[in-house]
Structure 1
Amino acid sequence: MVVDSRSRTRASIVESAAKLLREQGADAVTTRAVAQAAGMQAPTIYRFFEDKEALLDAVAEHVFATYVSSKTLAEDSGDPVADLRAGWDAHIDFGLTNAALFGLLIDPARGGGSPAAAAGLAVLQARVRRVAAIGRLRVPERRAVELIHAAGTGAVLTLLATPPQQRDPGLSAAMYDAVLRAILTDAPALPTGDATAAAVAFRAVAPQLTGLSDAERSLLAEWLDRAAGAV
């Protein structure tokens, strides 16, 4: 019962701080303001969080974890390329809707050990792997993931730095199309003449070859990575 009460109090603090962050920015997340919004005394905050930075970290983790969970639960449409685009659109929308939080998440000074951020990257990696498995990827999976991640972050930052009324509504789509041209083949299925795309596709499904030993799968993965230009 005590544990449940403590968990509820902590959750109330985090949710109140998240609301302030979303509506007024990071500067508004003060101990006094959060305590007032949560209906408690300011000293209570310090029973759960060492300082404002620790509270902001918890807020970022909470909000982003909720977002990632919704991405993880999203149904596979059966079209890996379409699912990749849906993930891009969701990422851009999240960044623009949660400007202050997005700034916290990409700030190198805050560290890169967020479990939610790692889970979000895993969702992107899984979607890219599904694209690779149907023979549509012309570059190694890691390169595709890094290009998409970098382009998405850059697009959000550029849009956030522009006054809303002056933003180019087509910027995000143009950026995504440019990335697609760099990472996708034109063919809808395994291309017969594109050895790199074939190697990337085979690499995506190689871990499922249960007839091979761990050592054999590891060696096969190394060969395919070399063929795809990943090493």
Structure 2
Amino acid sequence: MMKVALFDFDGTIYPYETFNILMEKLKTHPEYKKSYRIFMTKFLPVYTAYKLNIISKMLMQKKAMELYMLSFKGRSKAEIEDFFAQAAAGMAEDLRTSLIEEIKELRQKNYYTVLISGAYVPLLEALFDKGHFDCIIGTEVHYSGGAYNYKEGVQRVHAEGKIDSIKQHFHDKQIDWNESCAYSDSYTDLKMLELVGHPVAVTPDPKLLETAQSNNWRIYSEENGGSL
């Protein structure tokens, strides 16, 4: 049976929040900075509704990703991929190198490696090639006639939605989940971590740290570049 290794991205392989980096990229980009002001105008009512507890954090984040992609309305696939490649170039040096090495080691041990994240797929593909992951699952950017198709909306891969994506990807495969592993920094990925026999909490948030300690899970410490 196949053994798999599942990796979250934001806060795990990459120590920061991807969307914050992309916002700054849009804000300072010589060609797209006008779109940043439009985004902020449209996003402010959404954020206000979230702060007033009218909408959930998950819905607020989904709307943010949809509004962000409207900045590329009418843009070609090549233009969008170039924008995300530029963003990726600035992020690459901040990736956790010890985890990148661990991914390579797992591949050498015949693990099927999966990057699963709410980040946009063009960004993830610009950061990683087939030498890192066998499969990248993220928030898809849809095209029609070679240009961005904003009418398709954004289907964010997040929290328990990751489980649906994982099961769909492996629906016709026999997986040894007990010998598989998963890496994440966030309690929102608890279901993904519980799916495998070897969960790893990567510099975890307080709630995940408590869960990891009570279950004797491996805890990755950035300070030590490995495990506690």
TM-score normalised by L of structure 1 = 0.31
More helix by share: 1
Name which one, 1 or 2, has greater alpha-carbon Rg: 1
More strand by share: 2
Instruction: Answer 1 or 2: higher relative contact order, Cα 8 Å, separation at least 6.
Output: 2
